Amino acid sequence: MATEHFQRGQVIFRENDKSQEAYFIVSGLVEISINTAHGIQSLAKIGPGEIFGEMGMIMDRPRSATATALENTTLETIAEAEFEQQIIQRPDRLHVYLATLFERIRRTDLLLTTTTNATVPLVAKPKPAAEPVFRVKIRSHYEETGFNHPAVEKTITKLPFRIGRTYFDTAVSSLARNDLSIEEPHPYQLSRNHCEVDFEHGHFVLRDRGSKLGSWVNGEHVSVDAGCITCLLRTGENKVIFGNADSPHRYTITIEQLE
């Protein structure tokens, strides 16, 4: 496999380009986006160990999305003839590939569901010329609800930061993409792929991942059923409830601007 290096902001390939190879991310961060009637929409941000660009190559179709390096990125290129040997026959890469693929399908399906709802305009906002530096922390408040669960307090160091219910089925647990997995007995407030914290168009957001009950952010309901799958997170403290309004999964997401 050949190795390629891309600078921050450099386009790796564009939507409708000819598909000739897939890519394995050695280091860096890549954004996958598509053009919609409402502007450019991000489908995923993927990092080291993940694979992209394979569908157009396998199906012999033009690229269905645009891939852009969000930071200095190193990729291994995988030709069609190498794909089975480098991915399908290697369990370590196959599990990562399937997990990435399922997350991509889920995100695309949620985007398509939302864009068909006229009450949810997806308007792309211009990025600022220079993005400030932030520290983002998440802290649980289970002691306030009496829910017997270990306390959570951590700094978010990667985006998107995915949150969901713990997978107990070992047959599918290797496909989980959660950065914060929360154990919960039945009846569930959390979905296994519940929501994520991300940064887009100059703002931190909490985005639903197709959960059953959604979340509450500073009193605003965020869910497909509520007609809003993305909510802005303000600088300072944000009160978040995962599930119904009376759910015990109560957290604070704090955003501190450092520069």
pLDDT tens for each residue of 16-74: 998 888 899 999 999 988 887 777 877 778 888 888 888 777 667 888 889 999 999 99
Rounded to a whole number of angstroms, the distance between the first and last alpha carbons of the chain is 40
Higher confidence at residue 19 or residue 190?
190
Q: Identify the helix (H) or strand (E) that includes residue 96.
A: helix 91-115
At residue 83, the pLDDT reads 73
Write out pLDDT tens, residues 216-252: 999 999 998 888 889 999 999 999 999 999 999 999 9
At residue 50, the pLDDT reads 83
Tell me the domain boundaries of the chain.
2-115, 134-257
- What residues contact residue 31 under an 8 Å CB cut-off, 6+ apart? 42, 44, 45, 67, 68, 70
Write out pLDDT tens, residues 128-151: 444 457 789 999 999 888 888 889
- pLDDT tier for residue 175 given thresholds of 50, 70 and 90: low
**Arithmetic mean of pLDDT, 107-123:** 46
At residue 174, the pLDDT reads 53
- Assess contact for 44 and 110: CB atoms under 8 A: no
Domain 134-257 in CATH 3.40.250.10? The answer is no
> Distance (Å, rounded) from C-alpha 65 to C-alpha 33?
6
φ/ψ (deg, to 5) at 241: -120, 125
Closest to 217 measured CA to CA, from 234, 239, 235, 195:
239
At residue 104, the pLDDT reads 66
At residue 182, the pLDDT reads 92
> Distance (Å, rounded) from C-alpha 193 to C-alpha 171?
16
Q: Which two tokens stand for residue 167?
A: 């997978």
CATH topology of domain 2-115: Jelly Rolls (2.60.120)
C-alpha distances (whole Å) from 181 to each of 126, 184, 218 are 33, 10, 22
Does 192 score more than 50 pLDDT? yes
Closest to 229 measured CA to CA, from 68, 116, 134:
116
Higher confidence at residue 119 or residue 208?
208
Does 88 score more than 90 pLDDT? no
Higher confidence at residue 78 or residue 243?
243
- pLDDT tier for residue 113 given thresholds of 50, 70 and 90: low
Question: What's the angle, vertex CA 214, arms to CA 243 and CA 101, rounded to 5?
Answer: 120
